[in-house]
Amino acid sequence: MNAFSSRFVSIEALQQKLAACSDEALAAPIEGKWSILQHLYHCWLVERGVLAYMKLKTQDIESLEKVRLLTRLRFIFFFTILKLGLLKVKAPKVVEAFPENMSPKDLCDRLSKTREEADLFFTTLPETTARKGIFKHLFIGRLNKSLSQKFIKLHLEHHLKLCGL
Residue 84 belongs to domain with CATH number: 1.20.120.450
Q: What is the domain range of residue 96? A: 4-163
pLDDT, block means (10 residues), the chain with 165 residues: 84 94 93 92 95 95 94 95 86 82 93 95 93 94 95 93 90
Give per-residue pLDDT as tens, 2-35.
788 888 999 999 999 999 999 999 999 998 899 9
Please give the tally of structural domains in the chain. Answer: 1
Residue 81 burial (C-beta neighbours within 10 Å; 0-12, 13-18, 19+):
exposed
pLDDT for the residue numbered 131: 95
Q: Under the phi-then-psi rule, with left for phi > 0, alpha for psi from -120 to 50, and beta for the rest, what region is 53?
A: alpha
- Roughly how many angstroms between the first and final C-alpha of the chain, as a whole number? 30
Look at residue 1 in the predicted model and tell me its pLDDT. Answer: 52
Residue type (1 letter), 116? E
pTM, two decimals, is 0.91
Strands 135-137 and 141-143: antiparallel
Q: Any residues with CB less than 8 A from the CB of 107 and at least 6 apart, and which? A: 18, 37, 40, 41, 44
- On whether the CB atoms of residues 156 and 8 are closer than 8 A, the answer is yes
